[in-house]
Structure 1
Amino acid sequence: MYQWDFAPVFAHWPLLAQGLVNTLKVTALSLSCGLVLGLMLALLRLSPRRWLSWPAGFVIEVFRTTPPLVQLFWFFFALPLIVGVEMTPLLAAVVTFSIQSAAFFAEVFRAGIVSIERGQWEGALAIGMSHRQALRRIVLPQAVTRMIPAFLERAIELMKTTTLVATIAYADLLFAANDIAQKTFRPLETFTVVALIYFVVIFGFSLLARRLERRLAVGGEATVH
């Protein structure tokens, strides 16, 4: 029978800790950049000018329908050959997941903006606001509240997707696990510990997301009444 021994794995806890930090770093940077790019893509997609809306729609569909691993390999291996700029594993990961997240966020932003009643726009324009001011002061604050649950779900999915960066030798949590498994010859224990780490972090974030959703729902009901 197999004898479980977690001691060699826990002896390498600094590697696991650094891997977790690197995973959270990629996730945070990709989410931050993805939100900004996603809003820009959504506004371009909603533009009445086809020369703006069509390219934005093309980018959104490409990054929503192609596998993340293919995108990651393309940015890490192919893009440097085209532009002549070396891509570090961290930079390639952030660029890939930022654009991919932006493609998903763009559709969330677009749906949220479209969901706002036309009367909100008309009322803002009637009191002298420009289209940009109405978007920034009236429409987006209401739309973002409706979009927060979708954003939180995407953040959770993104953290799981970042495990792909181990394939380009970025020292994330999964890369650290592979290293420890090879050093200790304890792959079962190593990946069990890593699975528990992911569970604790992602489940904890999920609980916070659900709590925030409930507070927003209560706040929305209070506003209506």
Structure 2
Amino acid sequence: MYQWDFAVVLRSDDLFLQGALATLLLTASALAFAVPLGLVLAMARMSPWAPLRWFAYAIIDFFRTSALFVLIIWFYFAFPLLFNLQVNAFQAATIAIALQGGAYLAEIFRAGIESIQAGQWQAARALGLRFGMTLRLIILPQAIRRVLPVFMNFVVDTIKNTSFAAAIAYGELTYQAMRVSSATFRPLEVFTVIGIIYFVIITLMSWLSGFMERKLAIVER
């Protein structure tokens, strides 16, 4: 029977900590680009100008249907060759995750914005508010409350998707797990520990999501 031995694995706790921090850093970096990109694409999808609307649709459809693993590999190996740029593993993973994430967020944001009654746009125009002010002061605050649960699920998925960056040797949790597994020959224990770390991080995100939803519900009331 298999003899479990976590002691030898837990000696590499510093690598697990580095991996967890690298995972959170990559998640935050990707979200920092994906959120504004998603908002811009959502507004373009709702544009009355057909060429812009169809261009945004093409971008969204392409990145939503692309495999994230393939995107990460492409931006790490092919992108530097085509554009003569130096791209490290962190930058390549950030670009790939942010582009696909922005495509998904575009549809989430669009659904939230379109759920707001048309009468509120008309009332804002009657008051002389410009489009940007209407969006920022009236529409987006309401839309954010409606899409928050879906957005937080997207954040959780983004945390999970960072594991694909292990393919280009970015030092997130999965990559550190492979390093420790190779050194200790204890893959079952290593990936059990990694699974627990992911569980803790995602559970904390779920609690944060619930807290924010309750706060926003109080503000709305």
TM over 0.5: yes
- SS of 2:180's partner is helix
The CA deviation at 1:140 is 1.1
TM-score of the superposed pair, with normalisation by structure 1: 0.94
2: CA distance between counterparts of 1:52 and 1:79? 25
Q: CA RMSD in A?
A: 1.3
- SS of 2:29's partner is helix
Q: Is the 8 A contact 2:145 2:213 kept in 1?
A: no
Match of 2:30, as an amino acid? S
TM-score of the superposed pair, with normalisation by structure 2: 0.96
Match of 1:146, as an amino acid? R
* Residues 1:117 and 2:109 are matched in the alignment: no
Match of 2:161, as an amino acid? T
Query: What pairs with 1:50-69 in structure 2 (closer than 5 Å)?
Result: 50-69=50-69
Gaps in structure 1 of 5+ consecutive residues: none
Query: What pairs with 1:99-114 in structure 2 (closer than 5 Å)?
Result: 99-114=99-114
Matching residue of 2:94 = 94
1: CA distance between counterparts of 2:210 and 2:62? 31
The CA deviation at 1:64 is 0.8
Matching residue of 1:199 = 199
The CA deviation at 1:219 is 4.6
For these two proteins, the number of residue pairs brought into alignment is 221
The CA deviation at 1:26 is 0.4
- SS of 1:148's partner is helix
Query: What pairs with 1:1-225 in structure 2 (closer than 5 Å)?
Result: 1-217=1-217, 219-220=219-220, 222=221
The CA deviation at 1:212 is 2.7
- SS of 1:212's partner is helix
2: CA distance between counterparts of 1:94 and 1:138? 32
2: CA distance between counterparts of 1:130 and 1:193? 53
Gaps in structure 2 of 5+ consecutive residues: none
Match of 2:149, as an amino acid? P
- SS of 2:4's partner is coil
Q: Is the 8 A contact 2:30 2:98 kept in 1?
A: yes
- SS of 2:146's partner is helix
The CA deviation at 1:218 is 5.0
- SS of 1:2's partner is coil
The CA deviation at 1:207 is 2.4
- SS of 1:104's partner is helix
Identity rate, percent: 43
The Cα offsets for residues 97-127 of structure 1, whole Å up to 9 and x where unpaired, read as 1111110111111111111111101111101
1: CA distance between counterparts of 2:78 and 2:128? 50
